[in-house]
């Protein structure tokens, strides 16, 4: 089973076309297809090619409501706050980010992120996909010593140790892979990561 996970397209439609044309069993867009809540409708015809195999999360540039409406209108699967079983794993997703200086449409407090992650704690083995990376790791670093990820996401990974973790949000860390205890973790960026399970 091949899962192609990607994030932070930000209206780069040729990059999205390249991803959607790659062979995979499931496609998971981990947020920020659009910019400031605009552009989702332009993604629809590209994503429609793999409609039955596609799951979406909101990033910080889309509200959770906007992604819910978009998925309902287009027939895509909404992974935000949800999970499904795949090849012996639970695949769970949480979109949006912790607060940013930019007041983007999809931001939660750390308390809200922790509350929304909590239901996933019983899912083992777990593949967790969030828009936001864990704080103070190589996945959330914009420059040496500058980290902008989520404490709630970091705490959940440290405690629950999902088998795999995927995120985006921090563009400067795209492509980075780290081990967080027993968790294999990637910031997938818009080039994406193909996970074989």
Q: What pLDDT sits at residue 150? A: 98
pLDDT in tens, 116-169: 999 999 999 999 999 999 999 999 999 999 999 999 999 999 999 999 999 999
Q: What pLDDT sits at residue 51? A: 94
CA distance 131 to 162: 16
Partners of 179 in the beta sheet? 184
Q: Give me the chain's average pLDDT, please.
A: 97
Q: What is the 3-state secondary structure (H, E, C) of the chain?
A: CEEEEECCCCCCHHHHHHHHCCCCCEEEECCCCCECCECHHHHHHHHHHHHHHEEECCCCCCCHHHHHHHHHHHCCEECECEEEEECCEEEEEECCECCCCCCCCCECCHHHHHHHHHHHHHCCCEEEEECCCECCCCCCEEECCEECCEHHHHHHHHHHCCCEEEECCCHHHCCCEEEECCEEEEECHHHCEEEEC
Claim: this prediction has a pTM higher than 0.85: yes
Domains defined for the chain, CATH in brackets? 2-196 (3.60.21.10)
pLDDT in tens, 48-81: 999 999 999 999 999 999 999 999 999 999 999 9
């Amino acid at each position: 089973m091949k899962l192609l996970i990607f994030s932070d397209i930000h209206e780069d439609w040729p990059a999205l076309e390249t991803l959607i044309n790659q062979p995979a069993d499931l496609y998971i867009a981990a947020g920020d297809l659009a910019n400031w809540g605009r552009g989702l409708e332009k993604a629809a015809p590209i994503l429609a090619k793999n409609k039955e195999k596609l799951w979406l999360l909101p990033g910080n540039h889309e509200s959770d409501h906007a992604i819910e409406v978009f998925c309902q209108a287009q027939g895509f699967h909404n992974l935000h706050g949800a999970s499904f079983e795949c090849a012996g794993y639970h695949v769970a997703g949480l979109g949006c980010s912790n607060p940013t200086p930019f007041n983007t449409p999809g931001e939660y407090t750390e308390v809200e992120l922790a509350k929304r992650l909590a239901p996933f704690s019983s899912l083992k083995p777990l593949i967790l996909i969030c828009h936001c990376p864990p704080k103070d790791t190589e996945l959330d670093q914009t420059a040496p010593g500058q980290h902008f990820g989520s404490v709630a996401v970091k705490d959940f990974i440290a405690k629950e140790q999902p088998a795999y973790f995927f995120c985006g949000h921090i563009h400067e860390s795209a492509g980075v892979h780290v081990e967080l205890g027993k968790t294999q973790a990637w910031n997938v960026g818009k080039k994406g990561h193909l996970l074989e399970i």
